[in-house]
Amino acid sequence: MQGKTIVLSIVTLIGLIALFLIFKVPTVSSLLNHILNVNPLAWILSFGAIISMAVALTLTLSENSAGCLAWIVTGVFSAGWIFWLVAQGPLMFSALYHQTSYQESGLIEQSRIRDVAYTVANTNFNSQNPYSKSGPGDLDFIDGHWISSIDPKDLNVFSLPTQGIFIYDPDGEDKVVQVLEQFPFSEAGWLGNSATYFVRNVSYFTEFSEVVYKKLPGEDTGYIAVTSLIKRDGFVRYPYLWKVLVVFPDGRFELLDPKAAETDPRLEGVAIRSEWLTKQQVIAYGWRYGAWKGFVNRLGRIDIQTSAVNDENSAPFHMETPNGYMWYAPFSPLGSGSMIGMAMASSKLASAPIAIWSLPENQAIFAADSLVAEIESSLNHQLYNWYRVSAESACGNVQILELVPLVRKEADGNHLYYMGYVAPAPKATQVMFFSIIDPFTRIVYQDLLTANDVDSWLSGEYELTPQSAGDSVVIELDPGICDITAVPAENLLQEIERRLTGK
């Protein structure tokens, strides 16, 4: 009876696997992909521990002498599983480091900024969405513009594919441009309409992080959907770029080798080396001294910087350079709030080395959140009512969005600055001005009103002067009062009226 139960269980498991392989249900196929491809050893050990424990309990309850051996087997599987859970990350990143090319480098100059922050484009997409059954999906910066798919929402996620594309053009007559063009899937889809289902039909054991949309060359041509497909290799299952999938609205698709994708004119401005893979490769640089030293001593370990100001769009940042788009990823020591270097990687040339610029040993500079505090407290910004959120309240009418690194070519070499988008709060519908800070000296420079002004400065057309007490503030804002108890009694009614009317 016991043997029949085990055989039946195995047959049922094989039947379910076959079923999901055939029908490719997205959630289950992703789990199956994780079990059989991404990390099979961990699952083998865990299933072995569960099955051997069940056998050991059965034998022990039936007073079978083999129960002791079954418990030993359970212990071996369990110990192996726990060990692999701890070791798999360090071993994978160490292997990925050896499979990735890195080179020491100076800072690589940029040629143009992103006109608006992610948050501003996203707010405009959502505020000008005319549809009830669909809305903007994930945003990507492609070929100089923020682009978002028009994806189904609510119950439509079970049936509708992507309905088209939103494009944010801050210089256009209509800032939000709509292109209505159905694709055969949606990133927001849950069943047969999902991007996962489509990809699994192309190649089952692959991963992808996002789908981006790009206009084909020419005036009257349509759009294509592009996604980089990741596979795993080696005993530790390190990721690598396998193919680039190009999908047309009518359902046709092409699988391009990375080398072919790099030179394909249709993919100009598209990140062939995806953001996800870039992050993994930059983190892997922190394991350059080996898995053991990285895990035990944390030697060389790094974090790609995260910050409160960049919570909607964190590093790496997709920035334009004279030689095409590159990912810029400031990094810090593991668990630190400082900055010690920058990783820069071509997004178009997937096999190109990752350039590593590092500060001299034993040196570090302020990271994003600390630099934001410097900008907010500078001479011309002290009277602004900077947006603050606490457990009790939220107040303020100005915020800094997306502090990004800018590398400017100067007489003595390329120099690192940071730029913040200063926007209304709490809802950012536009950029009011741009604020520049030098992270080495922490000097805050004069504010710039337009993206073109920043581009001109970045290209070396003029120099900025530091803020000083005699400078005029670029934009005067009512600082307001967050704490109403601080309002003098004679002005209390006026303050209440101001808050109620917004005047």
Query: Residues 24-75: pLDDT tens digits?
Result: 667 778 888 888 899 999 999 999 999 999 999 988 888 788 889 999 999 9
Q: Are residues 188 and 235 in the same domain?
A: yes
DSSP 403: E
Helix (H, G, I), strand (E, B) or coil at 237: coil
Contacts of 414 (CB under 8 A, 6+ apart): 106, 107, 108, 109, 407, 408
Q: What is the pTM assigned to this prediction?
A: 0.89
State the burial class of residue 321 (Cβ atoms within 10 Å of its Cβ: 0-12, 13-18, 19+): middle
Residue with tokens 């994003």: 368
Q: Are residues 432 and 340 in the same domain?
A: no
Per the domain annotation, does 192 fall within a domain?
A: yes
184/251 Cα distance (integer angstroms) = 6
> For the chain, how are helix, strand and coil distributed in percent, rounded to 5?
35, 25, 40
What range does the domain containing 12 cover? 2-100
Per the domain annotation, does 124 fall within a domain?
A: no
Q: Are residues 349 and 474 in the same domain?
A: no
Q: Are residues 137 and 263 in the same domain?
A: yes
Q: Are residues 70 and 147 in the same domain?
A: no
Per the domain annotation, does 452 fall within a domain?
A: yes
Residue with tokens 């189904």: 152
Residues in the chain, pLDDT under 70: 1-9, 13, 15-25, 219-220, 469-503
What's the confidence (pLDDT) of residue 217? 86
Q: Are residues 8 and 88 in the same domain?
A: yes
Nearest-CA neighbor of 247 among 193, 183, 189? 183
188/138 Cα distance (integer angstroms) = 9
Burial 443-471 (b: 16+ CB within 10 A, else e): bbbbbbeebebbbebbeeeeebeebeeee
- The residue type of 361 is E
427/124 Cα distance (integer angstroms) = 10
Nearest-CA neighbor of 397 among 376, 425, 418, 371? 425
Q: Are residues 496 and 379 in the same domain?
A: yes
And the tokens for 26? 């997205």
Q: Are residues 377 and 330 in the same domain?
A: no
Nearest-CA neighbor of 182 among 229, 250, 239? 250
Per the domain annotation, does 188 fall within a domain?
A: yes
390/310 Cα distance (integer angstroms) = 18
Domain count for the chain:
4
And the tokens for 287? 């394991």
Contacts for 362-365 with beta carbons within 8 Å, 24 or more apart? 364/332, 364/333, 364/336, 364/338, 364/339, 364/340, 365/338, 365/339, 365/340, 365/439, 365/440
Q: Are residues 463 and 391 in the same domain?
A: yes
171/341 Cα distance (integer angstroms) = 34
Per the domain annotation, does 461 fall within a domain?
A: yes
Residue with tokens 């990507």: 140
Per the domain annotation, does 334 fall within a domain?
A: yes
What's the confidence (pLDDT) of residue 65? 81
And the tokens for 299? 């030697």
**Residue where a domain stops, chosen among 100, 121, 141:** 100
Q: Are residues 484 and 446 in the same domain?
A: yes
Q: Are residues 46 and 136 in the same domain?
A: no
Nearest-CA neighbor of 435 among 452, 417, 409? 417
Q: Are residues 378 and 478 in the same domain?
A: yes
Per the domain annotation, does 44 fall within a domain?
A: yes
User: Please, what is the Cα angle at 226 between 261 and 269, to 5 degrees?
Assistant: 65
Per the domain annotation, does 478 fall within a domain?
A: yes
Burial 59-95 (b: 16+ CB within 10 A, else e): beeeeeeebeebbebbeebbebbeebeeebebbbbbb
